[in-house]
Amino acid sequence: MSLVLRRIALALAVVAFSISCSGSTAALPRPSPSAIPSPSASPTEQLGPGGLTLDEEIGAVMMVGFQGPLTDAVMSDWRQRQFGGLLVVNLNHNASSPDAMRSFVSTIRSTSRHRLVAATDQEGGFVCIDISSVPCAPMPVGQADTTRMATALRSLGFDLDLGPVSDVCSGPQSVMWGRCYGSGAAAVAGAVGPVVDGIHAAGMLSAAKHFPGHGDTSVSSETQLPRIDEGHDTLLSREWPPFEAAIAHQTDFVLIGHLFYPWIDPHRSADLSPNTYDLLRADLKFHGAILSDDMEMGAITASTSTPEAAVEFLVAGGDMVMVAHHLDTADATYDAIKAAVTSGRLPRSRLDDAVTMLEALRDA
């Protein structure tokens, strides 16, 4: 056989073998580029609950306050960071009249691409917002007085009243004396429920504070970390009934105090310990959002920077970080949270869970 004929025969044999293996003479289709699976998106590229980007989620889990009136720089920062909470407290001197406060809140809200929760402390008695249109009844306040105060707040644009105080004071020596509803668990629990109801009746959100209980200490967490040497039995019988009452009345938030309970965690303050969140979720059956106290308070900053504490709070199980007074500190906290997600220290799924919890809050 000639060389040409041998080459033709070999080619025919290859074709026949290919047909016998495929069972068909049709060419195998090539996958289109869109059909080829792409690598999984990184945590920084994924969209979270509600279609939020990572940057928007980080802003969403922060409640921020700042000193002084609105400026162009503040507005620019707020548009960029998209903070999910606005905190107004008297010390910040943001506005001094009803009209000015109404404009202040609505202007900041206009920059937000997602829900903004505007909050203030309105406990009655010693702690009230300094706006003439908001009444400040003495402690304790029942449902009717609470609704009257909360309605006035609502008219200014607020949708979260940081109350009720659910701490049981150990007596006049307690740092919370004058802000608590009494020195007995049953009395405090009986007062807390109507306050939650009164806040809700005004169409506002409530935040029971300061879990696990700030009443049995003379030390202020504004300046240093209080140590409270109570065990499980005392917490169960004395500190927690008011929080259980608030939860039974469907409080929207529980605010965690900067408190050191060695029984809960011998190494970390309660707000930075996963053990606290396990107790609140599993033992007290709280299914709402968990808010930190101000991360600029001395109880935190004496040992831990605000940005680092904020990351630890979120890793432990918190949902919203409060930075009450300085926008540059809030910006540094934002950057720290983003770095923690990028590095994997704060799982994106944990951030997603926090945002989901905040999005589930009732409409206020």
DSSP state letter for 283: I
Cis peptide before 164 (omega within 30 of 0): yes
- How open is the CA angle 220-61-351, to the nearest 5 degrees? 115
Q: Is the pLDDT at 13 greater than 70, yes or no?
A: no
What pLDDT shows up at residue 41? 53
pLDDT band (50, 70, 90) for residue 27 = very low
The pLDDT assigned to 35 comes to: 33
49 band by pLDDT with thresholds 50, 70 and 90: confident
| pLDDT above 60: residue 142 | yes
The pLDDT value recorded for residue 45 is 65
Tens-place pLDDT, residues 176-195: 999 999 999 999 999 999 99
Cβ atoms of 198 and 250 within 8 Å: the answer is no
Token pair 């009136």: residue? 69
User: What confidence tier does 364 reach under pLDDT thresholds 50, 70, 90?
Assistant: low
Q: What pLDDT, on the 0 to 100 scale, is given for residue 227?
A: 97
**How far is the C-alpha of 241 from the C-alpha of 189, rounded, in Å?**
6
pTM of whole model > 0.85? yes
Q: Are 333 and 323 in contact, with CB atoms under 8 Å apart?
A: yes
Q: What angle do CA 124, 127, 129 make, to 5 degrees?
A: 90
What mean pLDDT comes out for the span 12-23? 39
Residue 244: is its pLDDT beyond 70? yes
Give percent of the chain above pLDDT 70. 87
Query: What is the average pLDDT value for the chain, to the nearest integer?
Result: 89
Tens of pLDDT, residues 251-303: 999 999 999 999 999 999 999 999 999 999 999 999 999 999 999 999 999 99
Q: Is the pLDDT of residue 80 over 50?
A: yes
Kindly indicate the confidence band of residue 152, based on its pLDDT and cuts at 50, 70 and 90.
very high
pLDDT at 238: 97
Model confidence at 1: pLDDT above 50: no
